Structures are given as structure tokens and as C-alpha cells.
A = this chain, B = another copy of it.
């Protein structure tokens, strides 16, 4: 490892000067600068980020807390977050809480404010109290994807209008003529998708079809959950012609359940999901869904986090991500029965 002072020594200057040329700060003579740069080059010097962070009184990383990076929704968010962070000279630490509040708390205790000065929180089943305690200790916390723009949370956040997302799904299904609809609410350890369902139901009411939902069930928020729940739903309510799943994963599972039962999607059954994960357009039939602006929300969250770190006061604590959008693919069709 080469240190600043080694470079300084070789260049015949002091480490302060080397620091100055490296960070284009202060005035340095042209020849001195040249000598310094030559020494840097010759020694292969690289600044020690840990030391720099300590001296600057800031942490070099941002932390991303998710329940599990293996959940297909998060990698897209993480990718965008990491790229945004890197553009600002920060690195991204991923923290998998496994939906265990203790792990979440342990993470916050350890890295918030010391290794990471900013924490980006996704659904990770972390107690809001823990987050607030973390914020009180001086770390900056941002909720990466808050589901209720009309109901600001206690912490800074980037909000996505999931109520609208649900409504878009409802309007589309109604427009296609569906009047007997099943709803699969992804829940499980991640908590329920209440706002999405509310948006769906509200839109139905507005359209005068408040009675269109003939079957509703909670399922685990996964392909498996949708598969099992879907099989049960299709058996229990054979009259339904369309299903809205509050998440793509269960929607995909439902399509499998339909396939297993010989029910043709979309001819006999329309399926619409919500989120638009990668797997959605790769499925067969490709899943119609309401796309949520994952990457944008990630980038906005990082930006918000960094602004809050820089100027804790003068920043509005909530930003609204672009509106969700209906993405029509092949899993939905006009009611034909």
C-alpha cells in the first residue's frame, strides 16, 4: 500500500500538498503539481477511502436494506441504486434482513452513521421505531418506495402511487368487459399490499362495478404462493374471467395454476399483475401488468438521500416517482364467454 506521505516524500513535498493536488484544492505550483503527479503515477498511489471518510467525517457508503436481494423485485432496484450511488462517489452495501426485525435492527445499529451515512430502506420488515431511532442517532434514512403518496410517512421517502397502480388494473379489466374478477393479495412475511387493492376497489366503485370482485384471497408473495392460491381460487370460483394479483410473482404463479388446470390464458382467463418485473415479459403468455417505476424510484431515492445528507433541513422529505403505467401484453383479453 502506498500512502500519501510516501508520495509526498518522493515528490519532495508534504502530504498536505499532495492532498491538494489530488483534490484540485488550494493553489499548487505547476511544477510541484507535475512532480506530485509523477510520484503518484510511479508509486501507483490510490487514496485510502476509509481514511478519507474518517477525516472528512462522512461515511463512504450507502446501505440498501431489503428483505432478500434474491427476491426478483429488488435486483432491478439495487442495480439502479448502485449506479446512482457510484455516480456520486458512494458505494452500495446490500443488507438482507430476511424479514427479520432483529437482523434489520442489528444492521442499522452497526452501519448506520458509521460505515454508511445513508440508509435506503425497502420493504424489509423493519420496525419504523428502529428506523426513527437510527435517524435520531444522526444517520439519514429514506424509504425507497412508499406506497401512499397522499399519506406522507414519518420519514423522508420516494413515493409511488400504488393506489393509482391498482386503479389502472381495475379500469383495464373493466374496459375488457370483465365483471367477475378474482383478486389475489400478496401478503406473507412482507406485509399486505393494502394500497394496491384499495386502488383497485376504489376504481371499481367509481366505475359502478363495486360488485365485480367475486373472490378475494391472500397469498404468499411469490410464484409458489400464486400457484397454490391460484389453484384454490380457480377451483372455488370457476366463474371468474379475470384475476388481478397485487404483485407479478403471484400473477405468474396463477398463470401456471391455470395452465395446470387446462385453462387458457387469456382466452378463458385474463391475468393482470402489478410491478412489471423482468420475468413478466418473459413469461408465456407475456404478463399484462401495471409497471412501477422501479429504476427511477431507486435513482430518486439515492438523490434524495444524498441531498438530505448534504443539507438535512432544506430538502422536501417526500418525492413522487413517475406514475405507474399499464403495460398490455398477452395475458389479458376481452371477456369472451
Contact = CB atoms under 8 A, between A and B. Distances in A.
Interface in A35-58: 44, 46-51, 53-54
Interface stretch (A78-86, A118-126, A160-168): A78-86
Contacts of A70: 75-76, 78-79, 278
Contact of A282 (B96, B223, B278): B223
B61 A137 contact: no
A78 B70 CA distance: 8
A113 B44 CA distance: 13
A323 interface: no
Nearest to A258: B284
A223 B279 CA distance: 9
A24 interface: no
B94 A49 contact: no
Interface in A56-108: 59-61, 68-72, 74-76, 78-79, 82-83, 91-96
B137 A44 contact: yes
B91 A111 contact: yes
What copy number does this chain have within its complex? 2
A114 interface: yes
A16 B79 CA distance: 41
Interface residues of A, number: 51
Contacts of A223: 282
B49 A278 contact: no
Given A79-B96, A113-B46, A256 B278 contact: no
A130 interface: no
B79 A91 contact: no
A109 interface: yes
A259 B83 CA distance: 36
A143 interface: no
A68 B78 CA distance: 10
A115 to B, nearest CB: 4
A50 B46 contact: no
B256 A49 contact: no
A93 B92 contact: yes
A115 B61 contact: yes
Given A51-B54, A91-B93, A114 B46 contact: yes
Contacts of A74: 75
Given A137-B1, A223-B282, A284-B259, A114 B47 contact: yes
A69 B50 contact: no
12 contacts: A1-B137, A44-B137, A46-B114, A50-B59, A51-B114, A60-B115, A69-B75, A69-B78, A71-B75, A82-B96, A83-B96, A91-B93
